[in-house]
Structure 1
Amino acid sequence: MPAVPPSRVKPALRLRVVLSEKVAIGPGKADLLEAIRAEGSIAAAGRRLRMSYQRAHDLVAALNADFREPLIETSTGGARGGGARLSPAGEAVLDTFRAIEAEAAAAVEPRLEWLRDTLAP
Structure 2
Amino acid sequence: MTDTRPQPVQKLRIVFDEGEMVGPGKAELLEHIRDTGSIAAAGRAMGMSYKRAWQLVETMNAMFRTPLVVRSRGGALGGSATLTQTGTAVLAAYRDYESAARSAGQPHVDRLTALLRPKDRDV
Common fold, TM-score beyond 0.5? yes
1:35 aligns with 2:32: yes
Report the CA distance between 1:97 and its aligned residue. Answer: 0.5
The answer to which of 79-88 and 29-38 deviates more is: 79-88
Question: Structure 2 regions of 5+ residues with no counterpart?
Answer: 119-123
Question: Structure 1 regions of 5+ residues with no counterpart?
Answer: none
Report the CA distance between 1:20 and its aligned residue. Answer: 2.4
Report the CA distance between 1:90 and its aligned residue. Answer: 0.0
Report the CA distance between 1:22 and its aligned residue. Answer: 3.4
Q: Is the 8 A contact 1:12 1:105 kept in 2?
A: no
**Relative to total residues, which structure has the larger strand share, 1 or 2?**
2
Q: Distance in 1 between matches of 2:88 and 2:29?
A: 12
Greater Cα radius of gyration, structure 1 or 2: 2
Report the CA distance between 1:118 and its aligned residue. Answer: 1.5
TM-score by length of 1: 0.90
Correspondence 1:1-121 to 2 at 5 A: 5-6=4-5, 9-121=6-118
Percent identity over paired residues: 48
Give the 3-state SS of the residue equivalent to 1:19 in structure 2.
Answer: strand
Report the CA distance between 1:81 and its aligned residue. Answer: 4.1
Higher relative contact order (CA 8 A, sep 6+): 2
Q: Deviations over 1:21-53 (max 9, x none)?
A: 331111111010001011100000000000111
